[in-house]
Amino acid sequence: MDQKNQSSVTEFLLLGLSERPEQQPLLFGIFLALYLVTMLGNLLIILAIGSDPHLHTPMYFFLANLSLADASFSSTTVPKMLVNIQTHSQTISYGGCLAQMHLFMTFGALDDFLLGVMAYDRYVAICRPLHYSTLMSPLVCMLLLAACWVLTNLAALLHTLLMARLSFCADNTVHHFFCDVVPLLQLSCSDTSINQVALFAVGSMILTGPLSLIILSYARIISSILRVPSASGRQKAFSTCGFHLTVVFLFYGTAIGVYLCPPSSHSGGEDRLAAVFYTVVTPMLNPFIYSLRNKDMKVALSRLLGIHTLSPQGL
């Protein structure tokens, strides 16, 4: 019976953000604009860093990879949602749903790890400058990036394989705008206890591990900033750290609320709203927060776009 039910589900229906037809054109316009800004901003960051030899440093190496992860992260969900709105179709194949879930988890977890590594890089640069060239050598940077990719792909593969073993019965309506783990588990007519344990255990490591590293790194950075004699220097540093931490906590706060809270506490509408923040808003904000407040990045972007500007020292 389970096999029959499982084989009968060949596709899922994605309800999207709203079931009201009159709201679809507005949602299409908003999310198309957000997606284009996300792609343009992250692409410019990647091109600017790649084209400027002065930016071939560990900090910008990880920033370029963060931009790549952000662009890929948004691309796993938003284009499909836009196509569904435009074609008035809500369907996604069973295989396509699992593939979307796998890619979403891969790039989402990669975002988590890269934010943690970037915070550690800033900690070493500010608090241990004499050891920076050793602790953040090109080999170390490549190993850190490789570790991020391996760990995130293993985590996503685990959840994908556990999801593939489940049976899905008559109801194939996903109350979300993409194939996420939580709403899919709610649809399954199999025992999902193993999936729930894996989601909590792996999610705890992926989310709280990098977040702890970020908090510890910024605590040490802020401690060093407090020793800066210049009031204007402290104000500028606190302003930059404040922007960084705002985006970090927006990303982690919404993700933790969705993936680490008990299943009974999940609400379809609240989960979809939270997902908008960590799948659309933060990938769009990251290029502005991490780059456009940086003098070297402003110069590199100006050169890339052919805009005459002063050197970094003259800004």
Residue 247, in any domain of the structure = yes
For position 101, what pLDDT does the model report? Answer: 95
Residue 311, in any domain of the structure = no
Mean pLDDT in order along the chain per 10 residues (315 residues): 52 86 90 94 92 90 93 94 90 93 95 92 88 93 96 95 88 88 88 91 89 91 80 67 76 79 62 84 83 77 72 44
**CB within 8 Å of 158: residues ≥ 6 apart:** 198, 202
| Structural domains in the chain (count) | 1
Residue 137, in any domain of the structure = yes
For position 30, what pLDDT does the model report? Answer: 94
Residue 64, in any domain of the structure = yes
For position 6, what pLDDT does the model report? Answer: 45
273 φ, ψ (degrees, to nearest 5) = -65, -45
For position 265, what pLDDT does the model report? Answer: 56
Contact 116, 214 (CB under 8 A): yes
Contact 72, 105 (CB under 8 A): no
Residue 169, in any domain of the structure = yes
Residue 294, in any domain of the structure = yes
Q: What is the DSSP letter of 188?
A: B
CATH code, domain with 95: 1.20.1070.10
Range of the domain at 132: 11-303
- Reported for 213-220, long-range contacts at CB under 8 A and 24+ positions apart, including other chains, are 213/116, 213/119, 213/120, 214/115, 214/116, 214/119, 214/245, 214/248, 216/123, 217/119, 217/120, 217/122, 217/123, 218/119, 218/123, 218/244, 218/245, 220/123, 220/127
Residue 6, in any domain of the structure = no
Residue 309, in any domain of the structure = no
Total Cβ atoms within 10 A of residue 146:
10
